[in-house]
Structure 1
Amino acid sequence: MLNIGSIFIFTFLALPIFTNGDWVHTVRGMEKNTLRWVIPVALLAVLASQFATRADWRAMFSLDYWQSLARYGMVMRIVESDFVHADEVDFQELTDVALRAAVRSLDSYSEYMTPDDYVEFDMAANQEYVGVGIEVGLFSGRIIISQVFEQGSAGVGGILAGDFIVGVDEVDTRDESLSEVIDRIRGESGSMVSIQVERPITAEEHSFNLERRAIALDSVVDVEMATETVGYMRVRQFIDETDLEMVSALQLLKSEGMQGLIIDLRGNPGGRVDIAVRMSEIFLDEGQEILTMQSRRGVEEVFYAEATLDANHQPLVVLIDGNSASASEIFSGALRDHARAVLVGDKSYGKGSVQSVYSFPDGDGLKLTSARYLLPSGEAINGTGVYPNVTVERSTEEAILLMLQAHHLRNMSDDAFAEVFGFAPVEDSQRIVAEQMLDALIGATELGSVLDVAAEGQ
């Protein structure tokens, strides 16, 4: 009687032969170098059979699993031996295409990454990139610098948010697309690029010679006192050391008289779950549940808040919108469920799954949905989102205008801004409500009474 390992070997080597006569001819005509990869893979099946009593190994080394590998290997072998243009085929690229398509078909969050893709993913996940330190976009058909980061050479060199890019390396770019201009600005760390801009306030053109370099962006930004008692900070993403940046920001705001805090998570796509847990611990009591993660086989892992020396018990409002996702929803959902914070804004994105990231020896990588999570209330928010305590709807137009003006007003008066951009600065309706709610929270003894008042006013 064949054991499991023998069945795997028999299936792997014989399945294509049983398909039709053409397969028989192909297998019999295999060269020795082909068998060099067929036999080792088959031998792995023998080893797999030794672990067949374990559920996870049985799932991984199933008959379907090996049949799929065999089918892919045989197709590639036929392409190599019989395709008329086989000499022109890049089999590594062909495999990359196949893996991308296969993993993408699983769900919208899983992704196979080539080495170049993985490097970009890793840098983006840690808010790092190589450049001059500017963010660009389109305004009225022109390419505008929407933000200048202090860490980059552009900020040091004198470029301002609101400048229009008119050239790169003395090449006129007025008629080029946004992607074309970005490609011109990009380059290797240490190299130089000259950027020509038109300053809208004076209509004068300026040229700046800038060095491209690796830039690590802060994830906690715009830390300021909104009023005499209300502190404000915006969290761009949950990445390595975001929790430490938040602790530093809290210490700064407390020293300036903060009695209550607004945390702005609007537009925050998420990030690392462990960082969201650590940040939740700052505001929750020891032992309170933060989230439950459920893996493929129903295994549950519950995360509870641990005691921290950086605990903060001041009144708290969290701003969310339709682009607040993943770790943003874990953080805001936990604080809402424990009545620790009032959520203000729009319903969040609704990404209730967790992705694990795997790196491989050749530099490629895999991002794979490995679990889903539940909020402390038991709510699964995938596809539905986290609902705020106080809903303040914001139009798409208002969101765009606010994004456009956010960094320009630091360098312009309201009148100058209106003259350049054609509209007067708009007010952030969600933030205004958040400040009003926080004023009420600072003077309240119970969160429930504040929410009752807010509900009556909606």
Structure 2
Amino acid sequence: MQKGTKRNIFVAATYAAVLLLGILLGQNYVEEQGNKPGNSLVPIGLSNNTWKIQQLIDLIDNSYVDSVNIDSVQNGAINHIISHLDPYSSYLVPNESQRQTEILEGTFEGIGMEYFNLNDTLMIVSLINGGPAEKAGFRVGDKLIKIGNRTVAGVNISREQVEKLIRGRRGTAVNVHIKRDNVEPTDPVSVVRDQVTVSSLDVVYMIKPGIGYIKVRRFGINTGDEFRQAVIELKKQGAKRLVLDLRDNGGGYFHMAIKMASEFFQDRRLIVYTEGAHEEKHEYFSEEGGAFTDGGLAVLINENTASASEIVTGAVQDWDRGTIIGRRSYGKGIVQEQFDFSDGSTVNLSIARYFTPLGRSIQKKYTPNWSNMVDFNNMYKGLWALDTLYAHGRAYKTMSGKQVYSGGGIMPDIIVAQDSNALNLFYQDLIQYSFIEQFVYARFTKKLPAYSIENFLQGYHLPDNEYHKFIDFVRAEGFVISDRKKNDLRDVIESDIEALVGRYYFGREAYFKVKNRNDAFVKQALEFLAFPPQ
């Protein structure tokens, strides 16, 4: 296949459920070298053996006993080839490719609302600030009855169907019938679709006097600028130390990881380099003059911190710029390049490994797992088994003399033990079946509170009787929970309920502020920044 004029490189991300493992979508960046080939796929000089694939498809199309969808046949053939290469190479059909781009770039054409399906009724639980829905007059708590001419309440409509009704070309209008305070207005709310931008930063605030906190959701197209501006604003508020939360961040654009890491260095530093069998070694350096070059820095990571997040973490650790706190990161150290087909589908092909400044590869071992090939529809799910055990690879020393290792993921400098309650199967079921959301949106959304966000954050705690009502609610749904387990899980469940109530009343920022009040990772980071070792 011949490549075109522009190259996109991907590092696997966690943002879609289209492929295995949940951390398999890519991150791309446009390389600086203008003369490099790029991402257009067109046929050239194929060998006789290569033509066999096309000949087989033509044979099926022209001679097979039944009519078949030849596009599905071709997609299946490509999927079969790509999925057997490694856990990260992937093939995305056009709508999957478009969704990947929207997620990574943080932009889409729609109206900017988030809803929850409560008892087969769609209730608005969040509005994007300044988005089309907010401008049109929608409120949190409104229930959607009809979108256009389609009834959406009480008809068991799927999320995919709702998305098709709400989304559309920028500048087009859609009428939405709602119910507000149990009253259904005669006239619908008309909203004009527009481009909606979602920040890649979940929250930015002063968590303690002198200490700023930034949680990064993904490395999107604007993350570098958003992060720099956030740091500047925190410094204006007196931040001399920083907690950077990269937990559950599956990655994003490769060059945004380099740009973010640059903010921690005054001079030009090696951040990462890539190399592969068909890729020469290429080094990527920080830009000079970072916005946070000398303050205390704690980086929070966990087992879902992957790829681009690991690039930032590795650079901070290798250069002794900050302290890594949490649990071993995911261990995704392979780079994908994106190739586009003319129909809008894409192939994200693994082309190189990346290495931290000291030369560490943090890619975990992977092997084929053929035993999981159960049926045609699921034969590729779980095809690859990733090694979850950590074995020290080659040892490296930082300039301060600290030993770090290659191998599966990045080991933190300070380890936070896993909360056994968070791993409890009953608690996992609560999350999977959205019981906490159902309880909160059914009980706490009747009317807005009479107190301010400051009072809520400082003093609100779930009343005792509400926790008992939650347990009664879950038991009524058929779940069995012992009194002992009810007591063991109380703190984690109450924290989730309080955070969700805060999000509904006061927005996304309140959710994380409430969660951070009793977060073990955050407590460890604040303690370290307050009393760093001498």
Q: Equivalent residue of 2:168, what SS?
A: coil
TM-score, normalised via structure 2 length = 0.60
Partner of 2:387: none
Measured in 1, the distance between the counterparts of 2:330 and 2:200 equals: 20
Partner of 1:385: 409
**Is the counterpart of residue 123 in structure 1 residue 102 in structure 2?**
yes
For 1:124-203, list aligned pairs within 5 A: 124-137=103-116, 143-161=122-140, 165=144, 167-169=146-148, 171-179=151-159, 180-196=161-177
Measured in 2, the distance between the counterparts of 1:107 and 1:141 equals: 40
* Residue identity matched to 1:375: T
Measured in 2, the distance between the counterparts of 1:235 and 1:74 equals: 48
* Residue identity matched to 1:390: I
* Residue identity matched to 1:173: A
Q: Which has the higher helix share?
A: 1
Partner of 1:327: 308
Q: By how many angstroms is 1:377 displaced?
A: 4.5
Measured in 2, the distance between the counterparts of 1:393 and 1:205 equals: 47
**Is the counterpart of residue 425 in structure 1 residue 503 in structure 2?**
no
Q: Equivalent residue of 2:57, what SS?
A: helix
Q: Which of 233, 248, 255 lines up with 1:274 in the alignment?
A: 255
Q: By how many angstroms is 1:130 displaced?
A: 1.9
Q: Deviations over 1:272-296 (max 9, x none)?
A: 1111012111113535432232213
Relative to structure 1, the CA distance from residue 441 to residue 84 in structure 2 (aligned partners, 3 Å threshold; closer, same or farther) is closer
Q: Deviations over 1:139-165 (max 9, x none)?
A: 677655443212422223344456554
Relative to structure 1, the CA distance from residue 377 to residue 146 in structure 2 (aligned partners, 3 Å threshold; closer, same or farther) is farther
Q: Equivalent residue of 2:498, what SS?
A: coil
Q: Equivalent residue of 2:263, what SS?
A: helix
| Identity over aligned pairs, percent | 24
* Residue identity matched to 1:330: I
Stretch deviating more after TM superposition (246-255 or 369-378): 369-378
Q: Equivalent residue of 2:230, what SS?
A: helix
Measured in 1, the distance between the counterparts of 2:310 and 2:281 equals: 19
Partner of 1:265: 246
Measured in 2, the distance between the counterparts of 1:430 and 1:300 equals: 44
Partner of 1:293: 274
Question: Is contact 2:266-2:290 (8 Å) kept?
Answer: no
Partner of 1:17: none
Stretch deviating more after TM superposition (418-427 or 143-152): 418-427
Q: By how many angstroms is 1:126 displaced?
A: 0.6
Q: Equivalent residue of 2:47, what SS?
A: helix
Q: By how many angstroms is 1:248 displaced?
A: 1.0
Q: By how many angstroms is 1:317 displaced?
A: 1.9
Higher RCO structure, 1 or 2 (CA under 8 Å, sep 6+): 2
Q: Deviations over 1:251-273 (max 9, x none)?
A: 11111111212222223221111
Measured in 1, the distance between the counterparts of 2:214 and 2:261 equals: 15
For 1:52-451, list aligned pairs within 5 A: 66-85=47-66, 89=68, 91-137=70-116, 143-161=122-140, 165=144, 167-169=146-148, 171-179=151-159, 180-196=161-177, 208-284=189-265, 286-297=267-278, 299-308=280-289, 310-383=291-364, 384-388=408-412, 389-394=414-419, 395=422, 397=427, 422=470, 424-425=497-498, 428=515, 432-433=519-520, 435-444=522-531, 448-449=533-534
Q: Equivalent residue of 1:226, what SS?
A: strand
Measured in 1, the distance between the counterparts of 2:337 and 2:240 equals: 38
Measured in 2, the distance between the counterparts of 1:392 and 1:204 equals: 49
Question: Is contact 1:262-1:319 (8 Å) kept?
Answer: yes
Stretch deviating more after TM superposition (378-387 or 320-329): 378-387
Relative to structure 1, the CA distance from residue 140 to residue 375 in structure 2 (aligned partners, 3 Å threshold; closer, same or farther) is farther
Relative to structure 1, the CA distance from residue 81 to residue 198 in structure 2 (aligned partners, 3 Å threshold; closer, same or farther) is closer
Relative to structure 1, the CA distance from residue 432 to residue 118 in structure 2 (aligned partners, 3 Å threshold; closer, same or farther) is closer
Q: Equivalent residue of 1:428, what SS?
A: helix
Question: Is contact 1:143-1:178 (8 Å) kept?
Answer: no
Aligned residues: 378
Q: Deviations over 1:31-70 (max 9, x none)?
A: xxxxxxxxxxxxxxxxxxxxxxxxxxxxxx9x9x724412
Relative to structure 1, the CA distance from residue 321 to residue 197 in structure 2 (aligned partners, 3 Å threshold; closer, same or farther) is farther
Q: Equivalent residue of 2:258, what SS?
A: helix
Relative to structure 1, the CA distance from residue 334 to residue 448 in structure 2 (aligned partners, 3 Å threshold; closer, same or farther) is farther
* Residue identity matched to 1:425: E
Question: Is contact 2:265-2:289 (8 Å) kept?
Answer: no
Question: Is contact 2:325-2:525 (8 Å) kept?
Answer: no
Stretch deviating more after TM superposition (391-400 or 251-260): 391-400
Measured in 2, the distance between the counterparts of 1:106 and 1:431 equals: 43
Q: Deviations over 1:204-223 (max 9, x none)?
A: 66764322222122223422
Where structure 1 has 5 or more consecutive residues not aligned to the other structure, the ranges are 1-60, 450-458
Measured in 1, the distance between the counterparts of 2:81 and 2:316 equals: 37
Relative to structure 1, the CA distance from residue 120 to residue 438 in structure 2 (aligned partners, 3 Å threshold; closer, same or farther) is closer
Q: Equivalent residue of 1:268, what SS?
A: coil
Measured in 1, the distance between the counterparts of 2:53 and 2:259 equals: 43
Q: By how many angstroms is 1:311 displaced?
A: 4.5
Relative to structure 1, the CA distance from residue 263 to residue 311 in structure 2 (aligned partners, 3 Å threshold; closer, same or farther) is closer
Relative to structure 1, the CA distance from residue 376 to residue 198 in structure 2 (aligned partners, 3 Å threshold; closer, same or farther) is farther
Q: Deviations over 1:361-381 (max 9, x none)?
A: 454322111112233344432
Question: Is contact 1:287-1:304 (8 Å) kept?
Answer: yes
Question: Is contact 1:231-1:261 (8 Å) kept?
Answer: yes
Relative to structure 1, the CA distance from residue 140 to residue 80 in structure 2 (aligned partners, 3 Å threshold; closer, same or farther) is closer
Relative to structure 1, the CA distance from residue 259 to residue 310 in structure 2 (aligned partners, 3 Å threshold; closer, same or farther) is closer
TM-score, normalised via structure 1 length = 0.69
Measured in 2, the distance between the counterparts of 1:136 and 1:100 equals: 33
Measured in 2, the distance between the counterparts of 1:390 and 1:181 equals: 43
Where structure 2 has 5 or more consecutive residues not aligned to the other structure, the ranges are 1-42, 365-407, 471-493, 500-513
Measured in 1, the distance between the counterparts of 2:344 and 2:191 equals: 30
Measured in 2, the distance between the counterparts of 1:372 and 1:99 equals: 23
Q: By how many angstroms is 1:249 displaced?
A: 1.0
Question: Is contact 1:151-1:216 (8 Å) kept?
Answer: no
Stretch deviating more after TM superposition (74-83 or 190-199): 190-199
Measured in 1, the distance between the counterparts of 2:84 and 2:179 equals: 45
Q: By how many angstroms is 1:328 displaced?
A: 1.0
Q: Deviations over 1:286-333 (max 9, x none)?
A: 354322322134743333434225353211222223332210111122
Q: Equivalent residue of 2:306, what SS?
A: coil
Relative to structure 1, the CA distance from residue 102 to residue 435 in structure 2 (aligned partners, 3 Å threshold; closer, same or farther) is closer
